[in-house]
Structure 1
């Protein structure tokens, strides 16, 4: 009998060791996850994401639009799962989440229609985070926790968290939220690993220091960035950028120039960004009431100092994008304006790490561009 228990225990230990998420940046994980991040664009622009979803993954959940038009999918692959968060959409409430960049304490509660949603993104009381992204995570939190509990019931405890653009920022924030939940909320056997693609910054130095010590130092959180993509430099306040508006939307050069004009305007008032962000936040909350409900946020802080989180992985820009030319022979798109696209991130990772796979691609232009 004792021998049987020992064998059973050894088998369980072996299974857990084999199933455990490996620390460190893995190109195959990055490739698969940025492919999954492309699902939302393919579904919208092509009508199907069949060509982009890795064969080893199957989608088991696709949420409705939540809160500020946030949405997430759950995929399973063998002994692990992936939570994939959508980036900014054309919905005004979605880009409001980016603009609502006032900083709030990393511990507190957000009240929606009279119901408090407690949150804790860090242990350090000096840590502060992005209001819009904190609200986004708070509104998604119960749905995400429900999906994690379902995964646990099915014996899955290894979970990758990912997203592109706003989705990348929400992935980082969600990781911090889950790791700081009260004991017993989710199983402590859960192991998380984060790949944030093209994500804007989400917190101040105190938040970043704690986050990086707990998750970057252990090589389980990565920020994958194209250096020619300006979006990860936002919001500013640290010398890396000054614009609290993220350039997510817009499919033409005119939209990009308009966003850059707004960025230049904010730069003229960089010494009072906290005041501007706080005033803007109050206005945005009024506008969000129709889509989200009556929201009561923690008092905003008199600071606006964002810094980066996650181990930075720099990928190469991709300028070989054969877009349709206009009548005058000029390209309809400035290639640099396309560097933020999730499909460009996907192509870059293939070119760098899986060149033979890239040669087999039938599509070189991001969906919706031509």
Structure 2
């Protein structure tokens, strides 16, 4: 009887080991700090603040991608225990094409295909809702890395690695949203194994898409699998500029059919409200068209210089950019402001890696062993 009991305990122990999950949902400060250390290495040839942030403690780089026409690059890191890998996406570098990717901010559908050349296209799904839309420049960034990311995930999966942290800071943070969505739907559609876990840290990230994309992202990463970390004095997460028009509302919103909603109101009330509504509606539509023209079609001509074969996509008539992910706020207090004072001469002082590193240590400390 004792022998049978011991065998059952051994079987249960083996099962628990095989089914063990090595990354957990929700924000873990030590995990995020390690990802900032990894991110510094991804930027080691483009920024200079290495003395303030140590080298990674638990991860080793095993792959670095080629640089794309818009200067995107990503690294693959493997944790020392061989159970978890990190996909780290480089942010903006001091190259015209890299900045152009940020400013090419017209919206395109979150599901579709974009023609990259006469012989190459990128077919993608980033949301279920047909009203979801994303930043076209960062979609191009995603298109340059999607295939190699999937290839490396499959290679590591074959060795037993099933858990991945996706990390990006700044532009890399924006791309981390889109990559997370892309990999989720590749898993749903059977193009990646279904027993893979993804956890995402979108650090200092701009807004990736419209409200319906944000809803979808927050749903697929629900229960703490998609974190967005923000320094309260960093202006980059406030971008891109958002303009909400009536077209951005759900169909049941009374503003979509305001005239119908006002039918039972008195004539004077209808006249006044319609006047105010028409004025606001015209101004927001005009602002949206200007954004689409100047930061869409006009900038596409510049993008084409770096990607000669690309064909201009059809834009969505929306600029209703929204934040996504569970917010982790790094509040800038007086002590922080003494070290990093407001300065028009250094607009990126609150956006750099070290302020994020320092504030994370201050407010969240180290919660676990770092693994």
Scaled to the shorter chain, the TM-score interval is 0.7 to 0.9
2: CA distance, partners of 1:196 / 1:30: 10
Q: Specify whether residues 49 and 300 from structure 1 end up closer, same or farther in structure 2 by C-alpha distance, changes over 3 A only.
A: farther
Q: Give the conservation status (yes or no) of the 8 Å contact 2:340–2:349.
A: no
SS at match of 1:83: strand
Residue 91 (str. 1) matches residue 78 (str. 2): no
Candidates 60, 65, 68, aligned match of 2:67 = 65
1:228-277 Cα shifts (integer Å, max 9, x gaps) = 111101112258xxxxxxxxxxxxxxxxxxxxxxxxxxxxx865343233
* CA drift at 1:43: 3.4
Asked whether the 8 Å contact 2:75–2:88 carries over to 1, the reply is yes
Aligned equivalents of 1:64 and 1:35: distance in 2? Answer: 21
Q: How many residues align?
A: 317
Does 2:358 correspond to 1:347? yes
Alignment partner of 2:289 out of 263, 272, 275: 275
- The verdict on how the C-alpha distance between 1:110 and 1:353 changes in structure 2, with shifts beyond 3 A counting, is same
Secondary structure of the equivalent of 1:348? Answer: helix
Structure 2 length normalisation: TM-score? 0.77
Contact 1:273 1:304 in 2 (8 A): no
- Whether the aligned pair in 2 keeps the contact of 1:67 and 1:140 (CA below 8 Å) is no
| Separation in 2, partners of 1:322, 1:202 | 27
CA positional deviation for 1:180:
1.0
Give me the whole-angstrom Cα distance separating, in 2, the residues matched to 1:210 and 1:189. 20
Structure 2 counterparts to residues 155-304 of structure 1, below 5 A: 155-181=160-186, 183-215=189-221, 217-237=222-242, 271-279=285-293, 280-304=295-319
Aligned residue in 2 for 1:314: 329
CA RMSD of aligned residues (A): 2.9
Q: Deviations over 1:197-218 (max 9, x none)?
A: 1100011111111211221x32
1:102 Cα offset (Å): 0.7
CA distance in 2, matches of 1:51, 1:45: 12
TM-score normalised to structure 1 length = 0.77
CA contact (8 A) 1:19 1:80 kept: no
How far off is 1:337 after superposition? 4.3
Is the Cα–Cα contact under 8 Å of residues 59 and 73 in structure 1 kept in the other structure? yes
Distance 1:101 1:8, change over 3 A: farther
Partner of 1:338: 349
**Contact 1:107–1:120 (CA under 8 A) maintained in structure 2:** yes
Q: Residues 133 and 170 of structure 1 are in contact (CA less than 8 Å); yes or no, is this contact kept in structure 2?
A: yes
* Structure 2: gaps of 5 or more residues: 245-282, 367-371
Secondary structure of 1:319's partner? helix
1:100 counterpart = 2:104: yes
- Equivalent residues in 2 for 1:25-174, closer than 5 Å: 25-46=27-48, 52-77=54-79, 78=81, 79-114=83-118, 115-174=120-179
SS in 2 for 1:289: helix
1:361 match: none
| 8 Å CA contact 1:81, 1:159 repeated in 2 | yes
The answer (yes or no) to whether the contact 1:39–1:52 under 8 Å persists in 2 is: no
- Does the 8 Å CA contact 1:71/1:86 hold for their aligned counterparts? yes
Decide whether the 8 Å contact of 1:108 with 1:298 is kept in 2.
no
Contact 1:201 1:235 in 2 (8 A): yes
